Amino acid sequence: MPKNPTLSARAWALLLVLCGTIFLEGIDVAMLAVAVPSIRSDLGLSTGTAAWVMSAYVLGYAGFTLLGGRAADLLGRRRMFLTWLTVFMLFSGLGGFATEGWMLITARFVTGVAAAFMTPAAMSIITTSYAEGPERNKALLVFAGTAAGGFSLGLVIGGLLTALGWRWVFFAPVIFAGAVLLAAFKLLPAEGRPARATGGFDLAGAVVAAGAMLLLAFGIVRLEHGLDSWELTAAAFAAGLLLTGLFVAVERRAKNPLVRLGFLRKAATVRADLGMMLFVGAFFGFQFVVTLYLQELRGWSSFETALALIVMGVDAVLAPTLTPRLVNRFGNAKVAFGGFVLAAVTYVVFLQIGSDWTYAAMFPLLLLNGVAFAVVYGPLTIAATDGVDEEEQGLASGLLTTATQFGSAVGISAVTAVYGLSATSDPMDAFRAALAVPVAMILLGGLLTATGLRTRPVRHMEAESPSAEPVRERQTV
């Protein structure tokens, strides 16, 4: 297979449809983050209610992603994709008609659940529709770049739409999702009933897994409240861990387990998932601190802040162009590790931030952070799904997406908690303390990824030939 495969027109069309969902998910989150202050003011929401407008989505997404990924394997990827894209579109529209806080929170929670089923289905369609190797890698890198571009552009689009009226932040995704849905009906490959679905569905495992993920996600979101009602936070974590233990026991006895426990023995996959969790947590934690710095200390508007941060969207350009060349030459492990190093340099230098920094001083660091995202996200995505059997690609995608969502929740919540606890007469002390969180996460993630820099021999056999190719060295993440 060539190192730089040329995809057919239909293959590109299918990929663009699948990328449309991750782009939709990215702009949806980013636009709402910009619009929350206007929503709070217009509807007269309390601070706590406004916070839950954002947190409800995280709970739904993180709580059901594992189940969503496995459902794609067992119930059909096309079926799950189309069904939950429709739900995403409908409840995004309902959020635009909300007149009370509880209506917004409900709409955001269900939208998050929809994304939890839709996103792993889209990723697993990619990993089963494109041949493993350069072709699949190219598709996954384009998918990763689109995800990053959606979030970056969403910040600016959200600022523009909020100026027209915050309800457009909910209505715009409906229009985009409708276009993607129409194209998906024509382009998604037909599929029969998955063979393993006939063996029964692990309902007990599904219920326990969803409960454990919801409680753990709730505990993470609660971290941003600091020591306020710490008993509730501790109870959520304890209950979540208890259900996690129960889930393992259920899966050991299940005839057709939701998660085959042997799958978790794949060291490269688990390492990629944990690396992704730490990297994404550091990335979003850093972005949140920078946003606070620009808006609260420097007095920039939300739109000015969005324009300042859009430079990090360079990953949308580099991920499908530069990163594939780097991966072909150096392998996933070295490229991902290099990205961790770039991010670590960015965060450590930013620790020296002062109250009078010019944007010209910040620009190179923000650009470097975008480059780091481009050379980490895609390679880790490839590593997390590489070598996985087709019938478990949904599970692999679900685990990766779960790690991503938990990472973003941990990063933002931990940064918020440290910032609140470190508030002093000098706000710069609090900013620097909060910046220590992404520094710690990126260093830990870098050390974890470095353990995959070793090489191991892999023998590739010709399909219909008794002779073998020479042994090749392959890097694992």
* Neighbouring-strand partners of residue 473: 457
pLDDT of the residue at 376: 92
pLDDT at position 369 over 50: yes
CA pair distance 154, 41, nearest whole angstrom = 21
* Neighbouring-strand partners of residue 108: none
> How much is the pTM?
0.82
Count how many Cα atoms sit within 13 Å of the Cα of residue 191 in the half-sphere of its side chain. Answer: 23
Torsion of CA 266, 270, 271, 276, to 10 degrees: 150
Q: Residues of the chain with pLDDT > 90: what percent? A: 30
Better-predicted residue by pLDDT, 236 or 152:
236
Contact of 458 with 474, CB cutoff 8 Å: yes
Q: Model confidence at 303, in pLDDT bands (50, 70, 90)? A: confident
24-28, 105-109, 306-310, 389-393: range with highest mean pLDDT: 105-109
Q: Mind giving me the DSSP string for 82-146?
A: HHHHHHHHHHHHHHHT--SHHHHHHHHHHHHHHHHHHHHHHHHHHHHHS-TTHHHHHHHHHHHHH
* Residue bearing tokens 């694992």: 476
pLDDT of the residue at 474: 38
* Neighbouring-strand partners of residue 474: 456
Q: What average pLDDT does the structure give for the chain?
A: 83
